[in-house]
Amino acid sequence: MNPNGWSRQVLLPFAATRAGLLLVGVLALGLIGSVRSGSGNLVAHTPVPAPLEVWARWDSEWYLLIAAHGYRVDSFLEGYYPDYRPEDSTGFFPLYPLLLRGASATGLPLVAAGVLVSNLALLVALTLFRLLVRDEMDEQAATFSVWALLAFPTSFFFSAVYSESLSLALTLGTFLAARHRRWGWLAVCGFFGALARPTGVLVAAALLWEIWERKGEWKGWLSLAAFPAGTGVFCLFCRRLFGDPLAWVHRQSRWRGAASGPWRAFVRFFENAPRLHGSHSSFVELVIAALFIVALVPAVRKLRPSWAAYTVLSVLVPLCSTLWSFSRLALTIFPAFALLGLAGNRRPELLSLYLAVCLPLGGLLMTLFACGWWAG
């Protein structure tokens, strides 16, 4: 990709959408104010200037706390929600807070380090995403796919102090490496991807077909071992620190609920009083989950098997417990956004309709997030 093409097709949509979200967040914080101190949820960082403050909410506090103090944060949890436990920090995988700590070693405040790491990772992810879609589909579909991803209503999480952009970049790195038989790079991205997010190890299952298609090269099979190796390293760390190698699994079960089949999320939705939006029984999350389920049909029919498998796993696994944060978790399901780009390439009015719906909703959710309300 030449520099001029990259500027138009990656940097421009990145800058336009991030600037819009930043403006909405700063205006919302200034006009409405923050409710974070009275929310009853963890607040770990001291306030920073508004252009940074709007990106540090909810799970950001955990990443900032771990980056500053490590995983033994028992004393910081006192006085908060009674169900908090010392090992709850293990629900947040270590790669992102380690990068925050490294960036802050240059003198940056932790929040600024988080915003920097997230946005640099997002630029890498967008570049890799465009390369993958261009190779699989065509130039125009790749451009539309980037816009579709950045316009998704919860895409502000990519720039917040969250690990979504880092996880997406590493996931895309594994798919690109597999496509070009760069088994060493696949192992590196897979190992660190498994240290970035609890579901990072699932990518290995989707890549099985890529290795098989290349006549089962032994280096390819060996590179897939890096995924469980990354998860295993974190399990050993949890055992050493908390005496439980699966502390992060138990934390997820307590917070997201016991898992069963992918129908569980919808059963739980109707067990509680549905609301327009909130952490549980959110109608917005229900609609988004339903749309992604519908997208499984064209994903399986039109996409290469590894992309289809990744889409199916990424949609159904979260739904085995709850709809909670599905719209945020869906950000890393890149094949779904490639399908949107393909559809927009064939029928541009569909992309216009998508943008007309998603951009205002994204502005609303950014307002909620910046002011400390639940957004996704």
Residue spans per domain, the chain: 3-371
Mean pLDDT of 60-68: 95
Bridge-partner residues for 282, per DSSP? 275
Separation CA 40–CA 112 (nearest Å): 24
Where does residue 84 rank: exposed (0-12), middle (13-18), buried (19+ CB within 10 A)? middle
Residue 80: band (very low, low, confident or very high) from pLDDT cuts 50, 70, 90: low
Where does residue 259 rank: exposed (0-12), middle (13-18), buried (19+ CB within 10 A)? middle
Where does residue 260 rank: exposed (0-12), middle (13-18), buried (19+ CB within 10 A)? exposed
Whether pLDDT at 304 is above 80: yes
pLDDT tens sequence across 253-262 = 888 877 788 8
DSSP letter for 170, please: H
pLDDT tens sequence across 24-57 = 999 999 999 888 655 557 788 888 999 999 999 9
At 298, list the tokens.
């064209």
Residue 276: band (very low, low, confident or very high) from pLDDT cuts 50, 70, 90: confident
Separation CA 315–CA 337 (nearest Å): 13
Mean pLDDT of 309-325: 94
pLDDT at residue number 218: 81
Mean pLDDT of 57-63: 94
Q: What is the dihedral of CA 312, 318, 320, 324, to 10 degrees?
A: -140
* Predicted TM-score of the model (pTM): 0.95
Mean pLDDT of 328-350: 93
pLDDT at residue number 174: 97
pLDDT at residue number 42: 79
What percent of the chain has a predicted confidence (pLDDT) above 70? 96
Average pLDDT over the chain, rounded to whole? Answer: 91
Residue 79: band (very low, low, confident or very high) from pLDDT cuts 50, 70, 90: low
Select from 121, 146, 182 the least CA-distant residue to 5: 146
pLDDT tens sequence across 125-136 = 999 999 999 999
Separation CA 325–CA 160 (nearest Å): 15
